[in-house]
Amino acid sequence: MQTETSSSRSSTTASTIPLSIVVATTKPWPEIRACLDSLLGQSKSVGAEILVADGHGRGLPEMDKEFYKGLMWLKNPGASVFGLRKLGMSHAQGEIIAITEDHCRVAPNWCEQVIQAHKDYPDAAAIGGVVENGATTSLMDWANFFLVFAPFVSPIRNGPSERICLQANISYKRRVVSRMASQLGVMEMLFTRQLRQEGEVLMADDRLLVSHVQSHGFGGTFAAHFHNGRSIAGFRLEELGGMGRILRLGSTAILPPYLLWSTLRSLMGKQEVLGKVFASLPLLALLVCCHAAGEFIGYMAGPGQSPQRLA
């Protein structure tokens, strides 16, 4: 693993950094550029640091040092996005550690609002915001978005919540980050569940807005949800005994209808997207089956290379 740090970051001490922003990427430049364009100016205005955890090795432009001046560039070629997020979070020095994805664009006031939200909710271990779909050219893109982000589409209910937005738009108090235990990295779904079980407060706040811009194509979307399912199973295996593994295997038989019902229930009150929800319903039904197949294989054979195949 290689690290490159600009001089402007090294002159700032941990005690003066209010916010660290971790972005993992497994793609070569310029995949991450639009995300960084949305972050760079506002992060400097609030004194935040940005850490790019690069699993490709060429996630940033080697020949243009000025472009990413002020960033910490952590290279670990071949690492999964889960391992990369853990890598970035372990190097972060801010009192708040925020996560977004390389294919996301944050709102112009996102950094300021993340800091303000943590001031407003000092007891919250993690705060999640709203995600809007920035990939709208095909029904498959909508189905992909709904399956992952249905509960976090606007409007959301502000305040304490059992479910908050995950890796696209989440931030943690520094004090809880050291509790990440998985050797595979950070899967926010399981980490926030762990925090809730430990009695920590999770908070939803619609002031925090991110646009998710990702299109895998038709076949690539099915592959992504299969690998996501297998990765989830792989993470869970770290804590499952023999009987737990058998029960999880059995549960994959009812997982497709449960996931479809849960997704639709989350979206029913969101009038602006209902047309796209119903239009993409057949694709959603196929995607939840693909996800369930991934979990089944994961409980049978482990995660394999699925974590490395997710972007």
Interval 103-110 mean pLDDT = 98
Burial of 103 (0-12, 13-18, 19+ CB in 10 A): buried
Interval 22-26 mean pLDDT = 98
Q: Which CATH class is domain 2-212?
A: alpha beta
Position 184 scores a pLDDT of 84
pLDDT at residue 103 above 70?
A: yes
Structural tokens at position 125: 């271990």
Indicate the range of 31-45, 60-74, 252-266 predicted with least confidence: 60-74
Q: Where are the domains of the chain?
A: 2-212, 218-306
Strands (DSSP E) contained in the chain are 2-5, 19-25, 49-54, 71-75, 96-101, 104-106, 124-133, 159-160, 170-173, 201-212
Structural tokens at position 150: 């249905």
How do residues 114-125 score in pLDDT, each as one tens digit?
999 999 999 999
37: how many CB neighbours lie within 10 A of its CB?
12
Interval 162-177 mean pLDDT = 97
Q: Does the predicted TM-score (pTM) go above 0.75?
A: yes
DSSP assignment string, 87-150: HHHHH--SSEEEEEETTEEE-TTHHHHHHHHHHH-TTEEEEEEEEEE---SSHHHHHHHHHHHG
Position 63 scores a pLDDT of 67
Average pLDDT, the chain: 93
